[in-house]
Amino acid sequence: MAALQKSFDAHWKGRDPWESEEVLLSAMRQTVRYKELREEGLSEEEILREFRQPLPMKVFAWKGSSENPHALDSLRYYQRFLNTGLVSMEPRTGYVRAWVGGIDHEYFKYDHVRAKRQAGSTFKPVVYAAALEQGIEPCTYFPNTRDTYAQYDNWSPRNADGRYGGEYSMRGALAHSVNTVSAKIIVQAGIGETINLARRLGIRSDLPEIPGLALGVAEISLMEMVSAYTTFISNGYQTPAVYITSVVDRTGKVLRQHQPRENRKQVISYANADVMIALLRGVVEEGSAARLRSEYGLSMDIAGKTGTTQNHADGWFIGITPELVTGVWVGAESPMVHFRTLSLGQGAATALPVWADFMGRLGRDRAFRTVASSRFRPLPPHLQARLECASFLDDAPAEGEPGDFSLGGLVDKIFGNRTRDEQAQERTRPEQQVKQDRREEEKHRREEERRQRRERRRERRERSE
């Protein structure tokens, strides 16, 4: 974060990184001192005079601390800082293993893990999961066209890079965070169905019933988003966050002992959870998080999603490994304070490096050596077959191909022209696929029960020791 702050300061070259003094006034109104002065009956003008009076105080600096002559100067100073939040959870138990609310609690007494900010593209996996649950296949191709939605006040979403044309499969659209495709997917899957799934995933924040939800306009906490992502690696089970594992009295008697996987609920299918991991791995392998390999050299299996909000005010990265789901948010206290360019302010440039540093340190620590070598389990063949398609097609498909969202067109795009018998056989695939998915889920359920029994035995042994 110190390096990122240096970059931010150089970017603004000593100028105030905001267009309006309202940023400063808003920060002032949130202070305890302002509220006390208001209770004493002082007007806004009188309070401003008080804040301009000499009042030397220590302020945070990345190299030690410094002093500012009065309160208003310290507010101006602090508004320039980028802050961060990080939380890391075990997906199957819900145990919170790391929680960092900000860059320095002594000076910034605000928890950015629970604070709510626009989620940006980190919300897109919720939309894609809802589409899978509604029966949309991951190899369906969606045209990368900028459309206008008359039924939603002529809303017309744009892509961040301004590029259009061709068609994307789900993997390609998610990897490259294509806004136009995400808009099409939420409309096809259903906005209401997407919100319902978000609730099942543990997201409790207000979610507007508009297609812009697909682009992350809702303000959601980092804790909510990380908890939701644990579902994808937990085979569709949503596991609430666990902060306290046991409560004991002064004699050491256990009054309350948390049981692993307590209160877990399956909210998406085992098969669709696995498909989501495969889609999110595409973000790391070919998309906006590719730097994790090329620049940071992380070798463990990773799935995840970057996120950037309007005007680059918020940068996000939520990464999934087999053993941990870790989320990072980066931004200033006010959304009006931000980088001026996407290249500097996007989540891949702000939040992702923090995530990479955290995971890199874990991988180098002998106590967490399994993190560096952890691997996702291979996809079963019937699920792998559902993902065997190109991420992007340059040319628009001809009529009857996947661009018109028909099953027949999709099959022809993937397998080419075939005999009628072959086509008839292919049309029976969805029913066979459902049966196969059910068999896999039953197999997984039995594995989970065995794993839970092993976990309970291990915890009993640890308590007895």
d(CA 172, CA 361): 30
Closest to 305 measured CA to CA, from 322, 319, 324: 319
Domain ranges across the chain: 19-78, 82-382
Using 70 as the pLDDT threshold, list the residues of the chain that sit under it.
Answer: 64-70, 260-262, 395-438, 440-442, 444-445, 448-449, 451-452, 455-456, 458-465
Is residue 185 a contact partner of residue 191, using CB atoms and an 8 Å limit? no
pLDDT at 67: 66
Is residue 230 a contact partner of residue 89, using CB atoms and an 8 Å limit? yes
What token pair was written down for 19? 């267009």
pLDDT at 270: 93
Please count the residues of the chain: 465
Cβ-based burial of 249 (10 A; exposed 0-12, middle 13-18, buried ≥19): exposed
What token pair was written down for 110? 């605000």
Is residue 223 a contact partner of residue 87, using CB atoms and an 8 Å limit? yes
pLDDT at 19: 86
Closest to 226 measured CA to CA, from 245, 240, 244: 240
Using CA of residue 158, residue 164, residue 170, residue 173, what is the dihedral sign?
A: negative
pLDDT digits (tens, 9 = 90+) for 19-29: 888 998 999 99
pLDDT at 108: 86
pLDDT at 400: 42
142-143, strands of its sheet edge to edge: 142-143, 167-168, 392-393
254 backbone dihedrals φ, ψ, rounded to 5°:
-80, 120
pLDDT at 100: 96
Is residue 279 a contact partner of residue 304, using CB atoms and an 8 Å limit? no
d(CA 434, CA 224): 31
Is residue 147 a contact partner of residue 89, using CB atoms and an 8 Å limit? no
d(CA 454, CA 465): 17
Residue with tokens 């208001």: 38
Give the H/E segment covering residue 447.
Answer: helix 429-464
Tell how strand 116-118 and strand 303-308 pair up: unpaired
Domain 82-382 has CATH 3.40.710.10: yes
pLDDT at 424: 38
pLDDT digits (tens, 9 = 90+) for 113-136: 999 999 999 999 999 999 999 999
